[in-house]
Amino acid sequence: TRRVAIVGCGQLAQMMAREGRPLGIEFSFVAEHGESTGCVEGLGEIVHAEAFDSAEALYQALGNPEVITAEREQVQVPLLRELEQFCPVFPRPDALADTQHRLREKQALVESGIPVAPFLPANSYEEICRAIESLGYPAFIKSCENGYDGKNQWRVDNPEQLGSLSEVIKPDAYVVEKGVNFIREISLIGARSRSGEVKIYPLAENHHQDGTLLLSLAPAAAASDETMRAAESYLTKLLNDWDYVGALAMECFATDEGLLVNELAPRVHNSGHWTLGGAATSQFENHVRAILDLPLGSTSADRPTAMINLLGVDVVPDAVKQSATNITLYGKTLKPRRKMGHMLLQSEDMAKLRDAAQKAIDLIYQTA
């Protein structure tokens, strides 16, 4: 049997394993710094990284996998580099090192000729103030490392707001970005296999709440052909320039002047959960196929799908349940705003789907 080890034990690892096991692939999981492992229990061996004093011992405890992958951005790259002595690691640790640091990621995007919002690096509150003087308001201050779901970042609309952060922002590496007046946020996910086959999913349109993804709609109906083509060409260029292997997600702002790339995620992505039932092959299965060099599956979608995140809720009202085509609960302990699961709605018609998704959100979050 073929075995894949995944670094990380969250819901993305869970869905990769659930999608990979029907292909006859076995999984094992690396837990880092005492992370909770509830999502992957029962799906394969779970190994705690700190229990081993050598990478070789860890590799053996994982059952000598033929390939290792990661489910999240903030993985210990040095650990992956050590494990690379024993089997290939995809995406490659170099790609992970670039995408886990916002400044390096932006520089890599610029090097590939991909448009991004104007930005400046800054290492202190004073440098941030100078950067905003030159970029203007609104601006986004983002720490280079350890930011996700809008954490470790601040939007500032005026000097007063900036002033109120003088004690909050500690010396560290930041990227200051000009605020983009976007029409909508979209994302694109593709996979590239070891032999260079590339498959790209239709665009998704994304809606956030307090910096966290709440709703994705795909295929993004409103996207023009030009937007589609630009997004596909950027993602294909990155996949090939980096000789990238696995799933790569690209978050973009659609503006009146065209597309700007916001950030990348070197993995399967929350805005691609709609593919689990909404596309011929899920992003999770295609990621597994890509890293094992199996032929990639079709990424086509035959009707619109809405993915609603269940944030800090793990029950879906009956009225919503009836119309859902899929409800996936990750089996995590309930915490406010935590991603507990997601659900899918489908319709033949994007306008109807949009309405249905809004109604479902109102019911789930009782804001109607």
Binding residues for Mg ion, per CB under 5 A? Answer: 148, 251, 263
**Is residue 237 annotated as involved in ligand binding?**
no
Q: Work out whether 149 is an interface residue with ligand ATP (CB under 6 A).
A: yes
Partner that binds at residue 121, options ligand ATP, Mg ion, none, CB closer than 5 to 8 Å by kind? none
Partner that binds at residue 10, options ligand ATP, Mg ion, none, CB closer than 5 to 8 Å by kind? none
Among 171, 208, 295, 349, indicate the residue that binds ligand ATP (CB under 6 A): 208
Partner that binds at residue 19, options ligand ATP, Mg ion, none, CB closer than 5 to 8 Å by kind? none
Backbone angles phi, psi at 112, to 5 degrees: -85, 5
Helix (H, G, I), strand (E, B) or coil at 292: helix
In one letter, which amino acid is 201? Y
Report the nearest approach of Mg ion to the CB of residue 187 (Å): 8
Tell me the residue number closest to ligand ATP, measured at CB. 180
Q: In this complex, which beta carbon is closest to ligand ATP, that of residue 13 or of residue 311?
A: 311
Report the nearest approach of ligand ATP to the CB of residue 170 (Å): 18
**Is residue 44 annotated as involved in ligand binding?**
no
Residues contacting ligand ATP: total by CB under 6 A? 18
Partner that binds at residue 337, options Mg ion, ligand ATP, none, CB closer than 5 to 8 Å by kind? none
Contact 57, 39 (CB under 8 A): no
Report the nearest approach of ligand ATP to the CB of residue 156 (Å): 11
Q: In this complex, which beta carbon is closest to Mg ion, that of residue 147 or of residue 202?
A: 147
Contact 123, 110 (CB under 8 A): no
Report H helices in 251-349.
275-278, 283-292, 318-323
Determine the angle formed by the axes of helices 11-20 and 283-292, rounding to 10 degrees. Answer: 70
**Is residue 156 annotated as involved in ligand binding?**
no
Among 88, 150, 277, 331, indicate the residue that binds ligand ATP (CB under 6 A): 150
In one letter, which amino acid is 40? V
**Is residue 179 annotated as involved in ligand binding?**
yes
Report the nearest approach of Mg ion to the CB of residue 268 (Å): 14
Burial label for 256, CB within 10 Å (0-12, 13-18, 19+), is: exposed
Q: In this complex, which beta carbon is closest to ligand ATP, that of residue 16 or of residue 311?
A: 311
* Interface mask toward ligand ATP for 166-195; x: CB under 6 A: -----------x-xx----x----------
**Is residue 286 annotated as involved in ligand binding?**
no
Partner that binds at residue 180, options Mg ion, ligand ATP, none, CB closer than 5 to 8 Å by kind? ligand ATP
The number of angstroms, rounded, from the C-alpha of 308 to the middle of its chain's C-alpha atoms is 15
How many whole angstroms separate alpha carbon 52 and alpha carbon 47? Answer: 9
* 8, 48, 317 from 55: Cα distances, Å: 16, 12, 47
Contact 280, 298 (CB under 8 A): yes
- The residue assigned the tokens 């050598």 is 54
Among 27, 29, 59, 140, indicate the residue that binds ligand ATP (CB under 6 A): 140
Q: In this complex, which beta carbon is closest to Mg ion, that of residue 3 or of residue 72?
A: 72
Residue length of the chain: 368
* Interface mask toward ligand ATP for 112-131; x: CB under 6 A: -----x--------------
Give the count of alpha carbons within 13 A of 142, CB side only. Answer: 25
How many whole angstroms separate alpha carbon 247 and alpha carbon 191? Answer: 4
CA dihedral 180, 182, 186, 191 (to 10 degrees): -40
State the DSSP string of 64-99.
--SEEEESSSS--HHHHHHHTTTS-BSS-HHHHHHH
* 3, 64, 213 from 86: Cα distances, Å: 13, 8, 37
Q: Work out whether 105 is an interface residue with ligand ATP (CB under 6 A).
A: no
Subset of 253-272 contacting ligand ATP (CB under 6 A): 262-263
Q: Work out whether 211 is an interface residue with ligand ATP (CB under 6 A).
A: yes
Q: In this complex, which beta carbon is closest to Mg ion, that of residue 152 or of residue 323?
A: 152
The answer for residues whose C-beta is within 8 angstroms of residue 181's C-beta and 6 or more apart is: 255
Binding-site residues for ATP: 102, 142, 177-180, 185, 208, 262-263
Residues forming contacts to ligand ATP in the complex (CB under 6 A) are 117, 140, 142, 147-151, 153, 177, 179-180, 185, 208, 211, 251, 262-263
